[in-house]
Amino acid sequence: MEDETDIPVPKNENGYEKNINFLKRKGIKLIGITYSKAERHFFPTEEAYISEQEVFQRAQVLEKIIQNMGFETKLYPGDEKLFQNLSNDEPDLILNLVDTVRGLEFLGTCIPASLDLTQIPYTGSGMYSFVLSANKALMKEILIENDIPTPQYQLVKRVREPLSRRLRYPLITKLNNYNGGVGLTNDAVSENEKHLRNRLRYLFKTYKSPVIIEDFIIGRELSVIIVESDKKSAYIGEKIFRPTKKRKFNFCSFDATWMEDDAYYYEKFESPKDKRLKRKIVHYAKKAFDLLEMSDYAKFDVRISKTGKPYFIDCNPNPALGPAECDCAIGNITKMYGVPFKYILSRIFKNSLKTSKYNGFG
């Protein structure tokens, strides 16, 4: 198995400049940035709103970075007017940051679909991956069918639904159709049935969404970033959780992700004792990237059990894209490895054009 776990740092920014020159040779002048239009009334809770409202500010940060690359930019909210706006302006390339439309993740599939209809090249995954991202159970079944380890789970739609005998406490409950830690409160891990049923009652009443119940893997947690180009490269950051009384178990609850400034930090996952495990995780991540038809970049969350077995607990085809200043995993982790974010972004742009079906770019 090849060890391609690091993106080479471009010497004297040659790699970055080559990517920019490639874009300009392809006639790229105007880069549009689509972002989630987050209004409070679109979302069932303040949590769900908070997880999306940051996208506009991040889009503005990325706009300045792209302008400094030498390109024109324009921001587009992901709403019902997007198709017409894109048809009028005809941007050469789209940086897609949309996760939800009208607060719904499954409607986020409309954005890559609209871009496909307008035949504008865009970054990130297409409609198929978005559909899977909005249905965790379906995504898990694909992983299981292809021997990528994921925790035992059950999809439930009623509070009193009988539990599968395969499940073992502690169990964690997650919303099937939401991402970003929405609904994942600090007490999302249940150690008995009474607590579990109360959790289900709260989630069904609040979000009207099916719920995933899965074995909670006690152990370490990693974020695996895949960046696609001529070959797929991986960065792995281990989440180091700071001691707290807010959670009995260490995991990325909504508060740890959005509300607590110092809930955890990243360290490189590269100790000699983890070398074999690292190679296995990278192999699984690249395999999942292909199986789920992801494009350009992705993030995988992995738990490592006490026995050293990795379990893929989440697969995100369009994770929050931004530099470390925006506190995005991709920016934080690649920065640890000394790779400038502008190089990552230019690489994503180049790859999106090289793999595009439109305008002769493919």
Domain end position, chosen among 183, 216, 249: 216
pLDDT at 356: 78
pLDDT, tens digit, for every residue of 50-104?
Answer: 989 999 999 999 999 999 999 999 999 999 899 899 989 999 999 999 999 998 8
Give the CATH number for residue 193.
Answer: 3.30.1490
List the domain range (segments joined by +) for residue 159: 152-216
pLDDT greater than 60 at residue 129 = yes
Same domain, 15 and 129: yes
Which of 216, 241, 265 corresponds to the end of one domain?
Answer: 216
Q: For residue 236, which of 297, 302, 288, 289 has the smallest C-alpha distance? A: 302
Assigned domain for 234 exists: no
Specify if 320 maps to a domain: no
8-state DSSP, 11: G
For 223-281, the pLDDT digits (tens) are: 999 999 888 999 999 999 999 988 999 999 999 999 988 899 999 998 999 999 999 99
pLDDT value of residue 3: 40
Q: Model-level pTM?
A: 0.93
Domain for residue 236, yes or no? no
- Please answer whether residues 196 and 212 qualify as being in contact, where contact means their C-beta atoms are separated by less than 8 angstroms: no
Segment 32-44 shows an average pLDDT of 94
What mean pLDDT is predicted for residues 32-42? 95
The answer on 102 and 163 residing in a single domain is no
320, amino acid identity: A
CA 234: distance to chain centroid? 14
Supply the pLDDT for residue 357. Answer: 65
What is the per-residue pLDDT for 2?
40
306 located within any domain: no
Confidence of residue 12 (pLDDT cuts 50, 70, 90): very low
Task: Report the pLDDT value the prediction gives residue 226, as an integer from 0 to 100.
Answer: 97
Q: What is the pLDDT of residue 15?
A: 87
Asked if the model's pLDDT at residue 362 lies above 90, the reply is: no
233 domain residue, yes or no:
no
Same domain, 188 and 124: no
Same domain, 66 and 170: no
User: What pLDDT was estimated at residue 261?
Assistant: 83
Q: In whole angstroms, what is the distance from residue 142 CA to residue 132 CA?
A: 9
Choose the final residue of a domain: 176, 196, 216: 216
Are 158 and 90 within one domain?
Answer: no
Query: For the residues 113-140, what does the mean pLDDT come to?
Result: 92
Residue 362 maps to a domain: no
Residues 126 and 16 reside in one and the same domain: yes
User: What's the rounded Cα separation, in Å, for the pair 59 and 77?
Assistant: 10
Predicted pLDDT of residue 13: 60
On whether residue 6 sits in a domain, the answer given is no
Q: What integer is the mean pLDDT of 123-145?
A: 94
Co-location of 92 and 160 in the same domain = no
- Asked whether residue 16 falls in the same domain as residue 67, the answer is yes
Do residues 18 and 124 both lie within one domain? yes
93: domain CATH number is 3.40.50
Query: Does 11 score more than 80 pLDDT?
Result: no
Q: Are residues 127 and 21 both part of a single domain?
A: yes
Is the separation of the CB atoms in 246 and 187 below 8 Å? no
Same domain, 128 and 19: yes
Please give the mean pLDDT across all residues of the chain.
92
Whether residue 58 contacts residue 220, with contact meaning beta carbons closer than 8 Å, is answered with no
Question: Is pLDDT at 209 greater than 70 in this prediction?
Answer: yes
Tell me how far apart the alpha carbons of residues 336 and 216 are, in angstroms, rounded to a whole number: 28
- Is 261 among the domain residues? no
**Same structural domain for residues 180 and 113?**
no
Read off the pLDDT of each residue in 176-184 and give the average, rounded to a whole number: 91
User: What is residue 291's predicted lDDT score, i.e. its pLDDT?
Assistant: 96
Number of domains comprising the chain? 2
Q: How far is 138 from 346, CA to CA, in rounded Å?
A: 32
